[in-house]
Amino acid sequence: MDPASVLQFLQLGVSGIVVAVGLLLIAGGSLGLLRFPDLYTRLHAANVADVVGSVIVVLGLAIAAPDWGIAVRLLLLAALLMALGPTLTHLVAQAAHAAGLAPIAGRYAAPRPGATSTSTPP
């Protein structure tokens, strides 16, 4: 076997493994987004699993890319997803909490927006 074909086989194997891990994470995140009972738990699924899975899938695509220009652009896309996903999750959670959407919390009550200034002792 010449080195070029070994390198090609290695590229296919490594990118396949990385993409499979990312697809597993994306499947978990999307199932959580569909099945969880509450906006905040859905946010947790969408943030943690989905963003990390998207970044890992894009990194696997960058390994499988045919030339360097595509690989560099895919790394840029991964950096963008990694930066913007948690930012948007924070924005959605803060907007929902400020709008008065209460989380389902069992026995425990989450603090309401604006309730801390009246309930805390001076």
Residues that bind other proteins (CB under 8 A): 12, 15-16, 19-20, 22-23, 26-27, 29-31, 33-34, 39, 42-43, 46, 50, 54, 57-58, 60-61, 64-67, 69-70, 73-74, 76-77, 80-81, 84-85, 87-89, 91-92, 95-96, 98-99, 101
The structure tokens 């890319």 sit at: 65
Residues 17/20/26/29 CA torsion (nearest 10 deg) = -90
Q: How far is the CB of 22 from other proteins (least distance, A)?
A: 8
Choice between 101 and 109, CB closer to other proteins = 101
Q: Which ranges of the chain does DSSP label H, i.e. alpha helix?
A: 3-35, 39-44, 52-64, 68-98, 116-119
Whose Cβ is closer to other proteins: residue 2's or residue 67's?
67
- Residue 80 vs 109, nearer CB to other proteins: 80
CB 43 within 8 A of CB 92: yes
Measured in whole angstroms, the distance separating CA 109 from the mean position of its chain's CA atoms is 27
Q: Among 28, 24, 21, which residue's Cα sits nearest to residue 45?
A: 28
Smaller CB separation from other proteins, 66 or 106: 66
CB of 85 to other proteins, least distance (A): 8
